[in-house]
Structure 1
Amino acid sequence: MQQDESFDGGLNAKQKPSRLSDIVRSMETRQDTTIGELADSLGERAFGALMFIFAVPNAIPMPPGTSAILGLPLVILTWQVLMGRQTLWLPQAIRKRRISKEMLERFVSKVTPIMARLERVLKPRLGFVVTSNLAERMIGLVAFPLALILFLPIPFGNIPPAAAIACLALGLAERDGVAVLVGYVLSAASVAVLAAVSSALYAAAVAFLTTLFGG
């Protein structure tokens, strides 16, 4: 999403963009909204902001079904980051998906205080990690498989990849290379944890079947 003038939401380079906490705080929570309306309200800054908005509810306590609503858009979004798209595209079936006002209210109330604390340390730095087209594609390369994992119905499998994607999204949106590096570390840890859990579940299943059938 490298742009000729500035990445930050299509703003002039001399203008200071809104921070993610401002974007989240300004979200309309008095009525249901659609994913398309939410994406349109973010403009050209949609990539980093939406990656965060779609990922972080899966890392905190939210109503059941959250991953089913937000998981597929996150897969599509991270794929476009990987492909280096400069403008966001969502199919109409995804754009028309509704997000309830209750889910939005809960998201805003839980996330805004956390973001306010994080933004005290987030700042543009280590630009080579985040500002080039190659760096942005690398973020997509890491985030896309994590989004696939998050979308799949893996027991207890949502939180680690969601936290990693949220951290990558913060780095992308705030141009903070340190946050991106932390996201890479969390991504590796997520894969390790999920691999360990999958191995344990497989071993337990084999042991159960062996005991059951006397193998």
Structure 2
Amino acid sequence: MKQPLQNLEQLLDHIGELARDNDRVSIAMVVESIGSRSFGPMLMLIGMILFSPLSGVPGMSIFMATVVLLVAVQMLIGRKHFWLPQYILTRSVNNAKLQKALDWLSKPARVIDRVLKPRLTFLVRRTGSYGVAALCVVVGLVMPFMELVPFSSSAAGLSFLALGLALVVRDGLLVLFALAVLGTALALVGTNLLG
């Protein structure tokens, strides 16, 4: 990718090009398209998958939790490029399912991109980005329990999407939004599991 991503629509466009040019789109193809330094776009991608109809694919939530943990831990230790194992990189989805998910996300993406701007940047700069990574690790560890409560993994997806966008656009308000969504989702999961 020649230019760094600046918003959600650009990420959707990159993935859409892959879907148009290939019968199946693998994680490796997307990572190569967005760049191996792109922690924010990778979190956006994970969030989009979990928040879109693709989350209905059996085992997708736990698979994405594994990816989140790998990416977030690498953010925490300060790696400049992230690494994913081959079994994750080779996972793919057919272009029809992917295009359906992209179409579903396109209108909300335009609305979201219009309201984003740099603010509360201390939440997403150097130290703040470590906080984002630590939060992702916690959510990744809790996600297997979210499988037990309907739609809670979609809340996790929305949070990852917000956190990834926060890193890309430098909008710390999205970090606070993600915390609110996660807090609500975790409270619901806790209530359902304990109640």
Decide: shared fold, TM above 0.5: yes
Q: Specify the alignment match of 2:13 in structure 1.
A: 25
Q: 1:42 offset after TM fit, Å?
A: 0.5
Q: Which has the higher helix share?
A: 2
1-structure distance, mates of 2:52, 2:2: 31
Per-residue CA deviations over 1:47-74 (Å, capped at 9, x if unaligned) read 1112111123322333422325533222
Distance 1:22 1:10, change over 3 A: closer
Of the three residues 32, 35, 46, the one matched with 1:43 is: 35
TM-score normalised to structure 1 length = 0.77
Question: What is the aligned residue count?
Answer: 187
2-structure distance, mates of 1:197, 1:10: 46
TM-score normalised to structure 2 length = 0.84
Q: Specify the alignment match of 2:44 in structure 1.
A: 52
Work out the percentage of aligned pairs sharing the same amino acid: 21
Task: Indicate conservation of the 8 Å contact 2:5/2:41, yes or no.
Answer: no
Q: Specify the alignment match of 2:189 in structure 1.
A: 194
Q: 1:130 offset after TM fit, Å?
A: 0.5
Of the three residues 100, 111, 117, the one matched with 2:111 is: 117
Q: Specify the alignment match of 1:176 in structure 2.
A: 171
Equivalent residues in 2 for 1:158-169, closer than 5 Å: 158-169=153-164
| Aligned-residue RMSD, C-alpha | 2.3
Structure having the higher Rg: 1
Q: Specify the alignment match of 1:147 in structure 2.
A: 140
More RCO (CA 8 Å, sep 6+): 2
Q: 1:25 offset after TM fit, Å?
A: 1.8
- What are the ranges of 5 or more consecutive residues in structure 2 without an aligned counterpart? none
